[in-house]
Every structure is written in C-alpha cells, then in structure tokens.
Structure 1
Amino acid sequence: MRKVGILGGTFNPPHIGHLIIANEVFHALDLEEIWFMPNQDPPHKLKEGVVSDHQRVRMLEIMVSEHPNFFVETLEMERQGPSYTYETMQILTERHKDIQFHFIIGADMIEYLPKWHRIEELQELIKFVGVNRPKHCSESDYNILFIEVPSIEISSSLIRQRCKEGGTIRYLVPEPVRKYIEENLLYGP
C-alpha cells in the first residue's frame, strides 16, 4: 500500500512553513507523496486582501512545482457546501484504495480534534500526523503520530499584513510565489 501525506489549509498564501512541515513529515515517515489540499475559505474569514480560489491553487502549484513528490489536490475546492474532512477523506479513500493517507495537522488542530465532524470514523479512514506549533499543546486522547519539526513562526496572516503595509515577504514565501503575489497585486494596499 502506498503512503501519502495530506496537508490541508487555506494557503492564503502558501509559505515556507508549509513546505518545511511537508518536507519533514515526508522524510520522517518515508512517504511517497505529499498532497497539499486547499480548502474553501469560510465566509467569516473573508477580509481585506482576499484572493480567488484559482489564485490560491495557482500559488500552491507554483510552490510545489520544484519538488517531484509534492502535488496539489483540489477536491475540497471542487465540492459545494461545507467540506468536512471526514467526507473528503471518504471520497479520497474510495478513489485511491491502494493508498494509506497520513493527514498532517498542527498542534493547534490537535487541540480542536474533539470537535471535528465524525472524528471517530475519520480515525478509521486515515492516520493522523501531528506537528508542533508554537504556543500549542500536542497531547491528545486520539491516536496521533507526532513528528517534531523546526519551529518557525510564519503565518499567512503575517504575510498578508506585510503585503498590505508594503513590507517585504522575501524568504517567507518561495521566490516564484513572491513574484506571483507582486505581479498580480495580491494582498497589497
């Protein structure tokens, strides 16, 4: 059975921290691939500097293009209505019966797992892989394989704020992503 990691998020924008997490888990678990899976932006998150779903996917495609085992999975972008991880992973496990999925979450999401939709059934479909996040606890009653990754406090909100203020985002995002953001006037004032 193939082993594939799933790293979900809004990726608004994707940044170096996402790549570090993916790369560390990829090597630690000897995975065959990592699929970056952008989700829909919930309406309550829409604020200044909003970009289209197409632009978020394009930035991800640009970011992963240099790694031969990193890919973008757009299933959640294609679905209508709320996208629950359980339903998404049900679809993916049905489509890919030869894959054992390792769902990568940060310690902030580990704390939130008890509130996830159909969490017990979800644990039967996938293996959770937890990674450390600054200021969050990684302890859980759920079965989670924990991988220590270098702690780098980079967030998409920091990058959006920097862009809005006209500051630099060099080295916070891969250079081709930075160029895409600047050329398309994303997140700017």
Structure 2
Amino acid sequence: MDSITPEGVREQGERPRRVGIMGGTFDPIHTGHLLAAEAAREGAGLDEVWLLPASVPPHKQGAATDGEHRWRMTVAAAEGNDFLRGCDLELRKGGVSYTIDTVLLLRERFPDTQFSFIIGGDMVAYLPNWHRIDEIVEQIRFVGLQRPGYPNAAEGLPDPLRRALTMVPMPLVDISSTDIRERRRQGRSIRYLVPDAVYRYIEGNGLYEPES
C-alpha cells in the first residue's frame, strides 16, 4: 500500500497548497465520486483532491471488502489525473475514522497545506452534529456539493460553520456503491458506472460476485 508522503506532493510556490479531501468507504469508488471531486476542485479553486478511503466509518459496521481492495480501486480511479490522488491515512491508522482525528493527522503531516473537506449537499445541514465540530472548523474548511433542485442547507448553519463553507454546483448523478454491489451480485453490468480501471480490478479480483 503506497501512502501519501510530503515528498510526493507538488510545491505550489508562495501561497499555501489548497487540497480537498474526499472521504468515503469507496466500496467501490465510482464515476459519481470522480465527478464530485472534479466539481469541488473547479468550484472551490483547489489545487488537488485527495481520495481518502475510510478504515471503519463511525456510521457503518465495516465494509463489504477489505481495505487493501478499496485502496487499490481508489488508486486505479485516480490514474491519469494530475489533480487527483489517493491518500491511505485512515487505512493505515485503522480503527473508527472520526473526521477530527484525520484532520489533526493531516495538519501535523502537512502544516503548509490548506485543507477542505468535501461533503455532499445533504450532509451540510448535519455539520453542527459532527463529532467535535468546533475543533474541526478551527483547522479546515468545507466544500459542499450543491445539487440542482435542492435547497441550500448552508443558509441554516451557525455563522462559524457558514463562514467555513464554500458551496459549489454539482451535476445530478444517481450512482451509488450499494447499487453497484447489488448489480454485481445479480450478474448485471456495472460498466461505465465505475472507471474502466476499477471495472477491470473488480472483474480481475472477483469482487461483489454472487455467493455460491
């Protein structure tokens, strides 16, 4: 498993490097994730987006595949895009992946980088309920993905959270990892729902196939 290292990150000159962090189980990572990453990068003026597979998300009971498979699919999805890379920080740390712990580790390892967490528009309203959110907003910013036809949840946030948030437009894409896994188990096609490299990895490793 090849991890992000300071030596592997490009210099940006005088101003701090602006990096968006997109976390998720990525089981599997799919085209919708990549569209969201690109929308956030462009809309918020980010230099890069790092894809961060979770070890054990606090709201889920583990993942359907182990971390090594999810990491390799993440790396495969980022191939060919100079502005996109995988970050295995949470997988290496292990345990439950709380945002505050990840933020503190990132700030410790990359003190000259300005980080933003990328979240879906439906998660914006729940920011006040995040574990140790007051500490999080002292360290990073947020980028919220605003889908067309949905209300802007930022308007109801407390002032400190609203000031730490940038909303950017996101195309309406109805793709989910849950649906992709179910399609595989039913023997249905998932081609074009995931990047070609991820599709080949899933096929080559027999992931999400029906149980015999």
TM-score scaled by length of structure 2: 0.82
**Aligned partners of 1:30 and 1:135: how far apart in 2?**
23
Find 1:71's aligned residue among 73, 82, 85: 85
Q: CA deviation at 1:180?
A: 0.8
Contact 1:111 1:138 (8 Å CA) reproduced: no
Find 2:35's aligned residue among 14, 17, 20: 20
Find 1:146's aligned residue among 141, 145, 167: 167
Contact 1:164 1:188 (8 Å CA) reproduced: yes
**Aligned partners of 1:103 and 1:116: how far apart in 2?**
13
Aligned-residue sequence identity (percent) comes to 42
Contact 1:134 1:153 (8 Å CA) reproduced: no
Q: CA deviation at 1:179?
A: 1.2
Q: CA deviation at 1:175?
A: 1.0
Q: CA deviation at 1:123?
A: 0.7
Q: Which residue of 1 aligns with 2:192?
A: 171
Counterpart AA for 1:68: D
How many pairs were matched up?
A: 187
* Root-mean-square deviation over aligned CA pairs: 1.9
Q: Which moved more, 1:37-46 or 1:103-112?
A: 37-46
TM-score scaled by length of structure 1: 0.92
Q: CA deviation at 1:39?
A: 0.5
Q: Which residue of 1 aligns with 2:12?
A: none
Q: CA deviation at 1:134?
A: 7.9
Q: CA deviation at 1:98?
A: 1.0
Gap regions ≥5 residues in structure 1: none
**Aligned partners of 1:26 and 1:117: how far apart in 2?**
26
**Aligned partners of 2:148 and 2:198: how far apart in 1?**
25
Q: CA deviation at 1:111?
A: 2.8
Q: CA deviation at 1:182?
A: 1.1
Counterpart AA for 1:167: R
CA displacement 1:81-108 (0-9 Å, x = unmatched)? 3221011101111211111101100023
CA displacement 1:35-70 (0-9 Å, x = unmatched)? 0001023595347xx211000000000000110121
Q: Secondary structure at the match of 1:83?
A: coil
Bigger Rg, structure 1 or 2: 2
Q: Secondary structure at the match of 1:60?
A: helix
Counterpart AA for 2:50: W
Contact 2:56 2:95 (8 Å CA) reproduced: no
